[in-house]
């Protein structure tokens, strides 16, 4: 089985993905890290030097490759991955794949992201918490139709890591 974690940035995809992989004795891949390794450059540099279209094509290519060639895997997608090309359709139609949307509210995402802005180019320019909330709200509105197609939805607000991992495991088994 491959478990694909989707959700907005700071929803916990990589954090919970690593923990889940360890608990299940599965491999873990963060798609963004995988792309950077395969392309031998950062995503930020890829956007700057080759453009977003190049990145999105590579993202789809690597996602498809991983889903066709791996087993016993926890795969964390980038926040935008499900929203581009046929990526969500690919996830949903792949054999032995379960997709899980790690859903967090805007206030939760703001609290997780406000001190991480420097590490996240998409939001680095946003000056206030109110503007960050507005930005996240617009993004979630656009992305919700894709995220909500996931096989399972796990609400992450006001839950400990242990509770979230337990929720995921209960949904899987």
Q: Which residues are annotated as a binding site?
A: 10-15, 32, 56, 79, 120, 143
Annotated binding-site members for ATP: 10-15, 120
Q: How many helices (H) and strands (E) does the chain have?
A: 8, 5
Q: Are 117 and 91 in contact (CB under 8 A)?
A: no
Backbone angles phi, psi at 110, to 5 degrees: -60, -45
Buried b (16+ CB within 10 A) or exposed e, 123-137: beebeeeeebbebbe
| Nearest-angstrom CA–CA distance, 73 and 21 | 7
Annotated binding-site members for substrate: 32, 56, 79, 143
Tell me, letter by letter, the H, E, C secondary structure of 82-133.
HHCCCHHHHHHHCCCEEEEEEECCHHHHHHHHCCCHHHCCCCCCCCCHHHHH
> What is the separation of C-alpha 83 from the centre of its chain, rounded to a whole number of angstroms?
11
Annotated binding-site members for Mg(2+): 14
């Amino acid at each position: 089985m491959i478990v694909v974690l989707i959700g907005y940035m700071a929803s916990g995809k990589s954090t919970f993905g690593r923990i889940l992989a360890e608990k299940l004795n599965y491999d873990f891949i963060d798609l963004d890290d995988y792309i950077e390794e395969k392309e031998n450059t950062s995503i930020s540099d890829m956007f700057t030097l080759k453009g977003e279209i190049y990145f999105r094509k590579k993202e789809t290519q690597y996602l498809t490759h991983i889903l066709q060639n791996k087993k016993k895997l926890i795969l964390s997608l980038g926040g935008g991955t499900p929203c581009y090309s046929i990526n969500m359709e690919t996830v949903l139609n792949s054999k032995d794949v379960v997709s899980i949307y790690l859903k967090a509210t805007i206030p939760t995402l703001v609290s997780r992201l406000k001190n991480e802005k420097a590490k996240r180019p998409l939001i680095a320019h946003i000056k206030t918490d109110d503007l960050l909330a507005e930005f996240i709200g617009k993004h979630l509105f656009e992305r919700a139709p894709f995220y909500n197609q996931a096989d399972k939805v796990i609400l992450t607000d006001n839950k400990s890591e242990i509770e979230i991992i337990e929720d995921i495991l209960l949904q899987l088994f």
